[in-house]
């Protein structure tokens, strides 16, 4: 057993770290550090910088722009991006719809969509959940009826992240409501959001940012060529995609960065007795427990990667534990940050560059609220536990 | 032994609850929160009309001479309705005057406060002081007439609405209290996480009137903060009750996989833990309010209040987080009241000291 990175892997990390340091624009770095809202342009600007370097789609096949990195290198890259505080890569295209098209798309679909995704020309969104279909996704009702060489789509999607930035949305729709097995009547459809009949309405969350939306479809005409895979096989596509989605939820690099910031703050912030808060045994124990949780998550993640690298197989249902532990740690960090700041954490929306608020405190209260979403989204942690219970443990 | 409210207390709690249910429903509250001032003069007048601003003050000044237990039902109703009017800061300012002030000062302030014509705030917390009540850097110097106060006070709840501030500052003799006109200070107002209004207060040689003995303010501050902490515990119980009730309702009505999600045992047990957390919090709020009323010695009072606050802080966190989680995405939205209750409970968990602060205080008192 050897838990160390190889010399080559360490050199690879240094290369990534050095390049990110030199190429992440200062304004984006600041916005991320201050937890400010990122515009569509901010996200796509960073996407294009990575695309130009050839690093925007590491996991894609080389012919479509992939880097040819193995899973450990890909992990190192993601961790370094998180630690450097780069804007997130638009997951809906690069980690979700892209891999789906690569696996299930026709040549024509690949040629039409993949280069535009790669170059950041289109902003993609996900149309899965509906008001009555959250955890029970297979009960979805948005209907797509075939009429000649088009589908006519009617219904509603909800929790569409950054739907207001969207050019395209990939949707699960019901093409056959007569089948007794609900999963069998579902299809995977790509929809141009400029098509008449689509309305995007914001759903304001308790942090008061606009992040998620409702998307309404009223007789929306979609060319049949935008069907991915076969009609009625959308569930197969969705299951493949959810596996991909869960691979990116540990957020270890970003949590390491937040932990480092919290430690730094606690070393300067006086506790009740006037000594630095980090000297307070109660506080330090809480901080240490979080750090140990993060270490355990990191090593578990590396075990999965090692297994994947050698077997060539994804780790299966157990990847759910990365999502569960990763999100609990992210929430634990915002909670302990609130505790560290103490009474001064109460102002709700301090301006980031207000001299009365240090960078650590600015925007903390809204972020604490916002991070409650992490145990709900991308398959709630309850659903993740169901997955392990059923698939791994056979209960 | 009797844990029930007496008839008067029950009548008052019921009438406040009825009034808030009628005039302070969630939609009406939304408008108040979004208004420029962030509180309603009309609601304030009605609170005064119902006698709430006079509840803990002496009949000599038009009040009712009540204690924390008399206020419990009122605070529970306030927690349920998420009242944002500066009720608690006004009571705290008034109680400091009542506890430390001269006859003339009481006469000048309390009757107007009781009538709802005067609002106060307690400007105490400073940067770096955390929850340590004794740590004050602001200074007061004797001037030709009265005192001049200089210092920075942070997150002063109710400051933007306050007519007068009770300000803590150090003199040569030690920690002292002063009454200062708000207009003699510079207040930077903002909205807090729980949608109340607070402000940072800058005093630059602001004119102040000494309240109580010079250098002897700490016992009064500790007593009034303990009283307020007990009230906040009662308020938390009201907010927790709402969060539990509305989550239970959601578990019974939200269907997934063809059945109400409340039929899943994994969620049932979490709902039960929320229910237990609320009951435990209620017990501890009863303890805290009774002890601050009992004229027990300061140590016994502080011990009970800290014990209650440890439990309230932990349980506020559990109930607020679980109520959002069990609502799923909807619990995250501005449009559901539960997300606003989440925000109030998050602040309550820290208000007047988080669980760690009170753990340390309790342990220290036990050793002393």
Following DSSP, what letter does each residue of A183-235 receive, concatenated? GGGEEEEEEETTSTTEEEEEEEBTT--EEEEEEEEEEEEEEGGGEESSTT-HH
Other CB atoms closer than 10 Å to residue A339's CB: what's the count?
23
Give the residue from A42, A72, A89 where a domain finishes: A89
Which residues in A lie closer than 8 A to residue B256 (C-beta atoms)? 133-136, 139
User: What's the burial of A18, exposed, middle or buried (CB within 10 Å: 0-12/13-18/19+)?
Assistant: exposed
Question: Same structural domain for residues A273 and A388?
Answer: yes
Residues in chain B with pLDDT < 70?
Answer: none
SS (H, E, C) chain B: CCCCCCHHHHHHHHHHHHHHHHHCCHHHHHHHHHCCCCCCHHHHHHHHHCCHHHCCCCHHHCCCCCCHHHHHHHHHHHHHHCCCCCHHHHHHHHHHHHHHCCHHHHHHHHHHHHCCCCCEEEECCCCCCCCCCCCCCCEEEECCCCEEEEEEEEEEECHHHCCEEEEEEEECCEEEEEEEEHHHCEEEEEEECCCCEEEEEEEEEEEEEEECCCCCCHHHHHHHHHHHHHHHHHHHHHHHHHHHHHHHHHHHHCEECCEEHHHCHHHHHHHHHHHHHHHHHHHHHHHHHHHHHCCCCHHHHHHHHHHHHHHHHHHHHHHHHHHHHHHHHHHHECCCHHHHHHHHHHHHHHCCCCHHHHHHHHHHHHHC
Q: Is A158 on the interface with B (CB under 8 A)?
A: yes
Q: Which of A205, A207, A156 is nearest to B331 (CA)?
A: A205
- State which H helix or E strand residue A156 sits in: strand A150-161
Q: What is the model's pLDDT at position A244?
A: 65
- State which H helix or E strand residue A157 sits in: strand A150-161
Question: Same structural domain for residues A388 and A255?
Answer: yes
A274: helix, strand or coil: coil
Q: What is the model's pLDDT at position A316?
A: 83
Question: Same structural domain for residues A255 and A230?
Answer: no
Considering A245, A258, A293, A298, which one is annotated as catalytic?
A245
Q: What is the model's pLDDT at position B37?
A: 97
Smallest Cα distance from A259 to chain B, Å: 20
Q: How confident is the model at residue A314 (pLDDT cuts 50, 70, 90)?
A: confident
Say how many CA atoms lie within 13 Å of A8 toward its Cβ: 4
Q: Is A159 on the interface with B (CB under 8 A)?
A: yes
Q: Which pairing describes strands A124-127 and A168-174: parallel, antiparallel, or unpaired? A: parallel
Q: Of the candidates A203, A286, A344, which has its C-beta nearest B155's C-beta?
A: A344
Question: Same structural domain for residues A298 and A191?
Answer: no
Q: What is the model's pLDDT at position A121?
A: 96
Q: What is the model's pLDDT at position A307?
A: 87
Ordered structural domains, chain B, with CATH: 7-87+104-114 (1.10.540.10), 120-215 (2.40.110.10), 219-367 (1.20.140.10)
Q: What is the model's pLDDT at position A247?
A: 55
Interface subset of A 118-157, CB within 8 angstroms of B: 129, 132-136, 139
Question: Same structural domain for residues A136 and A256?
Answer: no
Question: Same structural domain for residues A81 and A140?
Answer: no
Q: What number is the ipTM of this complex?
A: 0.96
* Contact yes or no for A342 and B130 at CB 8 A: yes
Question: Same structural domain for residues A262 and A385?
Answer: yes
Residues B291/B293/B297/B301 CA torsion (nearest 10 deg)? 40
Q: What is the model's pLDDT at position A352?
A: 57
Question: Same structural domain for residues A259 and A363?
Answer: yes
- The nearest alpha carbon in chain B to A383 belongs to B266
Question: Same structural domain for residues A61 and A156?
Answer: no
User: Is A105 among the domain residues?
Assistant: no
User: Is A94 among the domain residues?
Assistant: no
User: Is A51 among the domain residues?
Assistant: yes
Give the residue from A63, A89, A115 where a domain finishes: A89
Residue to test with chain A: of B267, B323, B328, most A Cβ within 10 A:
B328
User: Is A386 among the domain residues?
Assistant: yes
Question: Same structural domain for residues A230 and A254?
Answer: no
Question: Same structural domain for residues A29 and A77?
Answer: yes
* Contact yes or no for A348 and B195 at CB 8 A: yes
Q: Is B255 on the interface with A (CB under 8 A)?
A: yes
pLDDT, tens digit (0-9, with 9 covering 90-100), for A346-366: 998 765 556 667 778 888 999
* Contact yes or no for A350 and B195 at CB 8 A: no
User: Is A101 among the domain residues?
Assistant: no
For residues B312 and B236, is the Cβ–Cβ distance under 8 A?
Answer: yes
pLDDT, tens digit (0-9, with 9 covering 90-100), for A217-260: 999 999 999 999 999 999 999 988 876 655 556 899 999 999 99
CATH code of the domain in which A366 resides: 1.20.140.10
Which residues in A lie closer than 8 A to residue B347 (C-beta atoms)? 346
Question: Same structural domain for residues A79 and A201?
Answer: no
Which pTM was predicted?
A: 0.97
Per the structure, the complete domain to which residue A338 belongs is given by 249-392
What the block records as the tokens of B94 is 């008034």
Domain count across chain A: 3
| B154: phi then psi, degrees, rounded to nearest 5 | -115, 150
Which residues in B lie closer than 8 A to residue A347 (C-beta atoms)? 155, 190-193, 198
pLDDT, tens digit (0-9, with 9 covering 90-100), for A161-219: 999 999 999 999 999 999 999 999 999 999 999 999 999 999 999 998 889 999 999 99
Q: What is the model's pLDDT at position A241?
A: 81
Give the residue from A234, A260, A286 where a domain finishes: A234
User: Is A115 among the domain residues?
Assistant: no
Q: Of the candidates B130, B317, B324, which has its C-beta nearest A343's C-beta?
A: B130
Q: What is the model's pLDDT at position A315?
A: 76
* Contact yes or no for A139 and B256 at CB 8 A: yes
Q: Is A231 known to be catalytic?
A: no
| Average pLDDT of the residues in A109-126 | 97
CA distance B288 to B309: 8
Q: Is B207 on the interface with A (CB under 8 A)?
A: no
Other CB atoms closer than 10 Å to residue A260's CB: what's the count?
11
Mean of all residue pLDDT scores within chain A? 94
User: Is A62 among the domain residues?
Assistant: yes
Residue to test with chain B: of A210, A343, A377, A388, most B Cβ within 10 A:
A343
User: Is A156 among the domain residues?
Assistant: yes
């Amino acid at each position: 057993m050897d838990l160390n990175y190889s010399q080559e892997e360490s050199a690879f990390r240094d290369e990534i770290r050095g390049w990110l340091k030199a190429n992440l624009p200062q304004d984006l770095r600041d916005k991320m550090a201050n937890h400010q809202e990122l515009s569509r342009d901010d996200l796509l600007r960073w996407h294009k910088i990575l695309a130009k370097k050839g690093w925007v789609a590491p996991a894609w096949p080389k012919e479509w722009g992939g880097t040819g990195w193995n899973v450990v290198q890909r992990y190192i890259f993601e961790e370094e991006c998180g630690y450097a505080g780069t804007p997130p890569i638009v997951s809906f295209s690069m980690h979700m719809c892209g891999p789906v098209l690569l696996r299930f798309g026709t040549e024509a679909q690949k040629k039409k969509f993949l280069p535009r995704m790669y170059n950041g020309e289109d902003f993609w969104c996900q149309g899965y959940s509906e008001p009555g279909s959250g955890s029970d996704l297979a009960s979805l009702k948005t209907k797509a009826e075939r009429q000649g060489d088009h589908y006519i789509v009617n219904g509603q999607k909800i929790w569409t992240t950054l739907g207001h930035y969207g050019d395209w949305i990939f949707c699960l729709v019901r093409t056959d409501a007569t089948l007794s097995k609900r999963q069998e009547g579902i299809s995977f459809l790509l929809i141009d959001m400029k098509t008449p009949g689509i309305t995007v309405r914001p759903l304001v969350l308790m942090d008061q940012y606009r992040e998620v939306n409702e998307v309404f479809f009223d007789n929306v005409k979609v060319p049949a060529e935008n069907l991915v895979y076969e009609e009625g096989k959308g569930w197969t596509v969705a299951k493949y995609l959810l596996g991909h989605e869960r691979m990116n939820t540990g957020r270890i690099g970003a949590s390491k960065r937040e932990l480092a910031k919290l430690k730094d703050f606690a070393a300067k912030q006086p506790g009740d007795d006037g000594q630095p808060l980090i000297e307070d045994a109660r506080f330090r124990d809480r901080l240490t427990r979080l750090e140990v949780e993060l270490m355990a998550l990191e090593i578990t993640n590396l075990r999965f990667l090692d297994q994947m690298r050698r077997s060539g197989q994804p780790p299966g249902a157990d990847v759910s534990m990365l999502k569960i532990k990763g999100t609990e740690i992210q929430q634990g960090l915002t909670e302990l940050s609130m505790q560290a700041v103490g009474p001064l954490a109460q102002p709700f929306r301090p301006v980031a560059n207000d001299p009365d608020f240090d960078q650590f405190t600015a925007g903390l209260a809204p972020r604490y609220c916002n991070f409650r979403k992490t145990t709900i989204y991308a398959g709630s942690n309850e659903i993740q536990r169901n997955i392990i219970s059923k698939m791994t443990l056979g209960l | 032994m009797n844990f029930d409210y007496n008839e008067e207390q029950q009548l008052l709690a019921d009438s406040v609850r009825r009034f808030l249910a009628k005039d302070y429903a969630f939609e009406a509250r939304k408008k108040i929160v979004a208004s420029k001032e962030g509180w309603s003069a009309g609601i304030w007048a009605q609170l005064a009309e119902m006698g709430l601003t006079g509840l803990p003050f002496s009949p000599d000044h038009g009040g009712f001479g009540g204690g924390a237990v008399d206020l419990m039902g009122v605070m529970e109703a306030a927690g349920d309705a998420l009242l944002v009017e500066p009720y608690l800061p006004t009571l705290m300012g008034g109680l400091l005057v009542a506890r430390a002030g001269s006859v003339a000062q009481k006469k000048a302030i309390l009757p107007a406060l009781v009538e709802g014509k005067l609002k106060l705030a307690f400007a105490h917390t400073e940067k770096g002081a955390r929850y340590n009540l004794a740590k004050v850097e602001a200074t007061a110097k004797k001037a030709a007439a009265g005192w001049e106060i200089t210092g920075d006070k942070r997150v002063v709840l109710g400051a933007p609405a306050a007519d007068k501030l009770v300000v803590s500052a150090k003199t040569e003799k030690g920690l002292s209290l002063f009454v200062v006109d708000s207009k003699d200070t510079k207040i930077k107002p903002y909205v807090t996480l729980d949608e109340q209004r607070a402000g940072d207060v800058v005093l630059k040689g602001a004119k102040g009137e000494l309240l109580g003995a010079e250098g002897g303010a700490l016992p009064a501050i500790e007593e009034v903060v303990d009283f307020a902490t007990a009230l906040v515990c009662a308020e938390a119980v009201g907010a927790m009750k709402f969060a539990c009730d509305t989550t239970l309702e959601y578990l019974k009505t939200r269907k997934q996989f063809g059945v109400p999600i409340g039929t899943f045992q994994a969620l049932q047990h979490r709902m039960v833990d929320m229910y237990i957390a609320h009951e435990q919090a209620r017990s501890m709020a009863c303890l805290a309010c009774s002890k601050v009323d009992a004229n027990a010695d300061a140590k016994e009072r502080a011990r009970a209040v800290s014990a209650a606050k440890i439990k309230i802080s932990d349980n506020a966190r559990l109930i607020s987080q679980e109520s959002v989680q069990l609502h799923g995405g909807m619990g995250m939205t501005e449009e559901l009241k539960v997300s606003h209750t989440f925000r109030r409970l998050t602040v309550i968990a820290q208000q007047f000291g988080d669980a760690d602060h009170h753990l340390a205080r309790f342990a220290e008192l036990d050793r002393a």
